[in-house]
Amino acid sequence: MHAYRSVEEALDAFIQPELLEGSNQYMCETCKSKQDAHKGLRITQFPYLLTIQLKRFDFDYNTMHRIKLNDRMTFPDVLDLNEYVNKKDAAGKPIDQHKNEDDDMDLGSPNPKRYTPSTTSPNRYGSATGTTTTGGDEVCVGQPIDHDVVEALRKSHGDNVYELFSVMVHSGNAAGGHYFAYIKNMDQDKWYVFNDTRVDHASPGDIEKSFGGHTSGWNQSNTNAYMLMYRKIDRKRNASFILSNKLPQHIKDSQEKWKRLEREAEEERLRKLSLIQVHVTINYPFPSVAFLPDRTEYDLTSKKHQIAEDFSEYKTEISREQPIRAIFNQAFDFFLERAQTFNLPFVKGSARLIYVEHGKLLGVFHSPNELDKKLRVVFNHHNGEPGSMFSVHFMLDVRLASTFFPLEIQNQMTIRIQRVDVGKRTTANELTMAVRGDEKMLRVKQWIGSQFRDDIHSLLNSRVILETASSSREFVMIDTSYHTMDFRNVMTQFVGYSTPTLYYDGGLETMVSKESREATLADRKLPFEKSAMFQILDRKCFSTVVKVRLPSQDEIDKARSTSTAFQGPSWKETVAMMCEEDKQWTEPREVNLEIASQRSKTPPEEPADDEAVIPSGRGSTASMRSVSMDDIDSGVSGSLCNNTPQMSPCVSEGDDCCDDQQQLVGKSQLMADYMQKTTPEFFYNRDPPKNLRVALNEDSISVSESETLVASTSSSHPISLRRPEDPIDGRIVSIQSHDGYHKLDVDSRMHLIEFKMWVADQLKMDKDQFVIVKHSTDDGSDTGYETNLQDDVTVSNAFQSCFISIKLRAPLKHDEKMMQIVLFEMHELQKDNWKPLFELPVSQSTLVGDVLLQCLRMYKEVYGDDLPLKMVRLREVFSSGIGTGRSLLNLNTPLDKRGYNWNSPMYLQILGDETIIGKPGDAVMVRRFRPTTVEIGPVQEVLFDAQAENPVLSFLEAVSRLSGIPVERVAVIEPKEYNWSKWPYLKSRLEMLESRSLFTTNLHLSYPHPADFLDKYGSKVLTYKDSEEEAKVLTEDERKQIKIKENNGQSANANRRKERPLRIQMSSVCEG
């Protein structure tokens, strides 16, 4: 495409008339016929302010991407537009200033021969001499204007002389970039560049760079002008710039408002820089019971996890210049509100604030003088002043005892205390203390007891247990033998330099209920290894948090309703019954003749042990094994989902009993009637015939209506709902539950089978009716993957510290995988929009016929519709571009024949075309291309005889019958063109319109192996046309529109980065 070199050259081309001739002739309303004509634009008047937009962005139809045009385009300081104005005479008629004897008609616009793109620019303005210049590079821009020369130009040419005062520039590419502007101060005759918040002087060279391209032609800049603004030169109308002190009052008020907002924004920015993030935790000896105003006890042990969450932390942002008292008051009020909810004693006089750094208690703020200090005093000044949003940590220590525990910075050791409530079999929330390392152990025990208001007598009778740092989670009782030892030495011996955790069973007078007090006193008489306290601590040390999502009640009800969908006869048994029906008839029948089907009254032989019927969704184990054609008395030829076969499916092509053609026709007709009258209800209705009941083992099974039957892969008979005999007491504790999401405290030593029994009890289902799915995200938002672990694996090894969900279905056998069934929607070109129906468990030995029967049963249970066998097919849709083969699957084929992707999705097609349902033949999908309209029709199916002498000719005849095109004119795209394509196998309409070698009318002669036609290309969608249909001649715009449509309108959705709006600080504007 030609790129114009200057604004004047582009204006010349803009008003150049277009010749309408040939097929694009103009329809004359006077002579009522098409005539050659010229069409053009006529400019009668230019505005006072003229905006010219340069086309810097375009769409490349070769790459199908937006591009930026960086070609050089010049523009002058002064633009003479007089000769672009169409003038009129006294009568108001247009005057053609360029009309001469060579013109063949009066166009009322400039001579088309005059306005052709060239390097000559007659409207160039010379700043020094006033003469015009030639050559695209000699352009004056950004220079002071000689007003005398301009005035002479206006007098000689006319009033339409314009002065450049603004250039908007884009730097970047078509996907994104940056915008800025050059603006001229008309009073000063100087240029400035406005770039974000900066305003600087601009030189003529800077503005000239915005021409784009490069003067040498070997390089191009991506920073160039895309919009120009000119003002008409008129001394009477041109106004001078107004200085700030001469602005109207309402503008001054707005200016002051903007400045005030800028000051406030800057102050807010500085304030945020001075903010400190403050985190305050609570240190409080939480009791097991609280007392209501009427002195009745209120149990808090069941609220332990809720209390831990409510009292977790207080966060705020505060200036480092604020006093510490502000933090103390805010944090106390925050925790006081929560304490009142649980009726806990909470007094401000019994609280103090402790500064914490790296787990160490480094400073106490309790007295008024301490609380009045500024927050910055807690910083370590050796490290300098911290930056903005620096985090500091405090602990609000609230005591119930008469005194606080002492806090000394030197020789300090931090310890964690947890009170044990033996009666409630739980531990209270953690309490933090600091003690001197050289204190005797007895003195430390006294400080611990005092926090729970225990006297010396209660303290000596209580137990203090230390949790060691060994991997075996051992415990040490701090008895009298340790009382005289230094606390640091004892802790170093058992926990090293870790922060020790001590467990204390005191506080019996003020912290626990009467029952817990009695249980604790009795438990103290037992050896520690046999005591309840040891069991409590042992359970706590092996505690792990498991987040699980349980299915909703609707999902549970749906799973129960679909559990029977996996029960029913296998495909082998179904074929045997159909063969038994077929043996009753050997003669052809009239269509209207009604004959009652007779079922075999002799039950089939009992299956072997390894072929026992499993009503769990897999039919029988025989259906799970690879069944060859020899396993069936007379193999099925083709697929029963491939319409009604031309021969009985129970008689092979080489069967001796099929020599009589009349007998063969009779069997085929019987099969057609059988498929038309038989619905899926025949195969799995509520009251099946005798032979089906035997196949299902129902004659030997009696199940109470009150029992729930579930699908199972581990039993050959339906089993009733089980409940765990021994409840899992205390090994799984619910911490939090909301809308099916549960946060559980689980004993990590629990076996997976025990956890499954707990889940089964929650769902009121059998443990074999669901599987556990592990997720990598904390909220389970990902799809996850199913666990395949043994039942004796512990919870810690199975899914410790991860999110799991429960998926309702029977667990898979060792050789099984899930297969997705997707609804095949022939007219939906976007495969991703096809609806997934359900999933089925299958193995490599599962027959396609068994999959089809399960689809029918599952579809009825899930969607409530009975689908007749004749109306459904199982299709293969290859995901890769090189896939070839039959689209319709053979029902007697095991899934391992599909290759390594044997469990890839299958596609269930529900037929709706009455002309195809129940008709003989093999199906191939086709679509018609119409060259006259350059349109392609919807996907359709044709039935042809794949066993004919020339199947390709049979296919062409079927297309001829469908379309009405004579068979000799049916042109089909060469099948080899589809070798690397995939669904929907579309070809470019432009390619089909213009390529003569793409279509062939001799496919039946040129195809090398006609017998392999269906096996090779049965999965494709073949395109055909009428070879004698006249092709449409497209214009360039029509070709572009077709390309855009075929590329899904990507040109309209090009990825562009959103630009920031230009913001200019008022204080940065330069005034003269």
Q: 380-402 pLDDT, tens per residue?
A: 655 566 666 688 899 999 988 87
Taking the C-alpha atoms of residue 764 and residue 754, their distance in angstroms, rounded to an integer, is 15
What CATH number does the domain containing 440 carry? 3.10.20.90
- Half-sphere exposure (CA, 13 Å, Cβ side) for 886? 20
Structure tokens at 912: 């709706």
* Neighbour-count burial of 572, counting CB atoms closer than 10 A to its CB (0-12 exposed, 13-18 middle, 19+ buried): buried
pLDDT above 70 as % of the chain: 75
**Cis geometry, peptide bond prior to residue 248 (ω within 30 degrees of 0):** no
pLDDT at position 696 is 30
pLDDT at position 887 is 66
Instruction: Tell me the three state secondary structure of residue 504.
Output: strand
pLDDT at position 710 is 31
pLDDT at position 188 is 85
Under the banding of pLDDT at 50, 70 and 90, the label for residue 214 is low
Per-residue pLDDT averaged across 852-868, rounded?
87
pLDDT tens string 193-202: 999 889 999 9
Taking the C-alpha atoms of residue 226 and residue 171, their distance in angstroms, rounded to an integer, is 10
Taking the C-alpha atoms of residue 843 and residue 72, their distance in angstroms, rounded to an integer, is 67
Structural domain includes residue 747: no
First and final CA of the chain: distance in angstroms? 46
pLDDT tens string 413-445: 889 999 999 998 899 988 998 888 888 999 999
Taking the C-alpha atoms of residue 434 and residue 98, their distance in angstroms, rounded to an integer, is 102
Taking the C-alpha atoms of residue 800 and residue 581, their distance in angstroms, rounded to an integer, is 57
Taking the C-alpha atoms of residue 16 and residue 88, their distance in angstroms, rounded to an integer, is 19
Q: Do both 51 and 61 map to the same domain? A: yes
* Domain-ending residue, one of 244, 274, 297: 244
Instruction: Tell me the three state secondary structure of residue 671.
Output: helix
Q: Do both 646 and 680 map to the same domain? A: yes
Contact between residue 300 and residue 310 where contact means Cβ atoms under 8 Å apart: no
H or E element, residue 517: helix 514-523
pLDDT at position 564 is 65
- Beta-carbon count within 10 A of 320 CB: 18
Weakest-pLDDT range from 70-74, 689-693, 987-991, 1050-1054: 689-693
Contact between residue 318 and residue 324 where contact means Cβ atoms under 8 Å apart: no
Taking the C-alpha atoms of residue 369 and residue 350, their distance in angstroms, rounded to an integer, is 17
Question: 658 vs 481, which has greater pLDDT?
Answer: 481
Q: Do both 227 and 142 map to the same domain? A: yes
Taking the C-alpha atoms of residue 809 and residue 712, their distance in angstroms, rounded to an integer, is 9
Res. 959: pLDDT tops 90: yes
Matching residue, tokens 């690397």: 980
Taking the C-alpha atoms of residue 298 and residue 111, their distance in angstroms, rounded to an integer, is 101
Range of the domain at 480: 401-541
Secondary structure in 3-state letters for 1016-1067: HHCCCEEEEEECCCCCCCCCHHHHHHHHHHHCCCHHHHCCCCCCCCCCCCHH
Under the banding of pLDDT at 50, 70 and 90, the label for residue 75 is very high
Angle at 200 between CA 198 and CA 202, to 5 degrees: 135
Taking the C-alpha atoms of residue 374 and residue 367, their distance in angstroms, rounded to an integer, is 14
Q: Which amino acid is at 206?
A: D
Q: Do both 531 and 583 map to the same domain? A: no
pLDDT tens string 546-577: 899 998 888 888 777 776 666 677 878 877 77
Per-residue pLDDT averaged across 292-298, rounded?
81
Structural domain includes residue 332: no
The DSSP string of 204-243 is HHHHHHTT-B-TTSS--BSEEEEEEEEEE--TTT--PPPP
Question: 216 vs 512, which has greater pLDDT?
Answer: 512
Contact between residue 846 and residue 894 where contact means Cβ atoms under 8 Å apart: yes
What is the number of structural domains in the chain?
4
Q: Do both 908 and 934 map to the same domain? A: no
Contact between residue 801 and residue 545 where contact means Cβ atoms under 8 Å apart: yes
Q: What is the DSSP letter of 430?
A: P
pLDDT at position 673 is 41
Contact between residue 155 and residue 130 where contact means Cβ atoms under 8 Å apart: no
Structural domain includes residue 134: yes
Instruction: Tell me the three state secondary structure of residue 202.
Output: strand
pLDDT at position 107 is 42
Taking the C-alpha atoms of residue 987 and residue 973, their distance in angstroms, rounded to an integer, is 10
Task: Name every residue whose Cβ is closer than 8 Å to that of residue 391 and which is 6 or more positions away in sequence.
Answer: 276, 277, 278, 279
Q: Do both 820 and 683 map to the same domain? A: yes
Find the farthest-apart pair of alpha carbons in the chain and give their distance in angstroms, rounded: 130
pLDDT tens string 731-776: 888 888 888 888 888 888 889 999 989 998 888 888 888 889 999 8
Res. 1046: pLDDT tops 90: no
Q: Do both 582 and 720 map to the same domain? A: yes
Res. 703: pLDDT tops 70: no
Structure tokens at 173: 């590419």
Contact between residue 108 and residue 94 where contact means Cβ atoms under 8 Å apart: yes
Contact between residue 716 and residue 731 where contact means Cβ atoms under 8 Å apart: no
Structure tokens at 806: 């429960």
Structure tokens at 485: 């030892």
| Residues paired with residue 157 on neighbouring β-strands, in sequence order | none
Do the bridges between strand 390-398 and strand 275-283 make them parallel or antiparallel, or are there none, so unpaired? parallel
| Residues paired with residue 775 on neighbouring β-strands, in sequence order | 803
Q: Do both 879 and 981 map to the same domain? A: no
Q: Do both 703 and 627 map to the same domain? A: yes
pLDDT at position 470 is 66
Structural domain includes residue 259: no
* Domain-ending residue, one of 197, 214, 244: 244
Is the pTM of the predicted complex or chain greater than 0.75?
A: no
Taking the C-alpha atoms of residue 503 and residue 484, their distance in angstroms, rounded to an integer, is 20
Sign of the dihedral defined by the CA atoms of residues 292, 295, 298, 300, in that order: positive
Taking the C-alpha atoms of residue 223 and residue 70, their distance in angstroms, rounded to an integer, is 8
Structure tokens at 1045: 């449509």
Taking the C-alpha atoms of residue 415 and residue 398, their distance in angstroms, rounded to an integer, is 17
Contact between residue 970 and residue 954 where contact means Cβ atoms under 8 Å apart: no
On average, the pLDDT of the chain sits at 76
What CATH number does the domain containing 93 carry? 3.90.70
Matching residue, tokens 């083969």: 885
Res. 134: pLDDT tops 60: no
Weakest-pLDDT range from 252-261, 657-666, 803-812, 984-993: 657-666
pLDDT at position 89 is 52
Structural domain includes residue 627: yes
Structural domain includes residue 151: yes
Per-residue pLDDT averaged across 229-237, rounded?
89
Taking the C-alpha atoms of residue 541 and residue 536, their distance in angstroms, rounded to an integer, is 9
Q: Do both 939 and 893 map to the same domain? A: no
Res. 236: pLDDT tops 70: yes
Question: 329 vs 882, which has greater pLDDT?
Answer: 329
Do the bridges between strand 412-421 and strand 501-504 make them parallel or antiparallel, or are there none, so unpaired? parallel
How distant, in Å, are the alpha carbons of 124, 674, 832, 882 from that of 848?
Answer: 81, 20, 24, 23
Contact between residue 856 and residue 632 where contact means Cβ atoms under 8 Å apart: no
Per-residue pLDDT averaged across 338-367, rounded?
89
Contact between residue 599 and residue 691 where contact means Cβ atoms under 8 Å apart: yes
Q: Do both 592 and 505 map to the same domain? A: no
* Domain-ending residue, one of 207, 226, 244: 244
pLDDT at position 161 is 93
Matching residue, tokens 């800057």: 266
* Closest-CA residue to 674 (of 569, 574, 582, 575): 582
Q: Which amino acid is at 341?
A: T
Task: Name every residue whose Cβ is closer than 8 Å to that of residue 676 and which is 6 or more positions away in sequence.
Answer: 868, 870, 918
Structural domain includes residue 378: no
Q: Where are the beta strands (DSSP E) in 739-783?
A: 741-747, 770-775
Task: Name every residue whose Cβ is closer than 8 Å to that of residue 828 and which is 6 or more positions away in sequence.
Answer: 834
pLDDT at position 84 is 86
- How far does Cα 698 stand from its chain's mean position? 47
- Beta-carbon count within 10 A of 302 CB: 9
Instruction: Tell me the three state secondary structure of residue 969.
Output: helix
Structural domain includes residue 309: no
Under the banding of pLDDT at 50, 70 and 90, the label for residue 840 is confident
Crossing angle of the two packed helices 571-582 and 848-863, in degrees rounded to 10: 100
Weakest-pLDDT range from 294-308, 404-418, 527-541, 603-617: 603-617
Task: Name every residue whose Cβ is closer than 8 Å to that of residue 822 and which is 6 or more positions away in sequence.
Answer: 834, 835, 836, 837, 905, 906, 907, 908
**Cis geometry, peptide bond prior to residue 551 (ω within 30 degrees of 0):** no
Long-range contacts of 1007-1012 (CB under 8 A, 24+ apart): 1007/952, 1007/975, 1010/950, 1010/951, 1010/952, 1010/953, 1011/951
Q: Do both 110 and 233 map to the same domain? A: yes
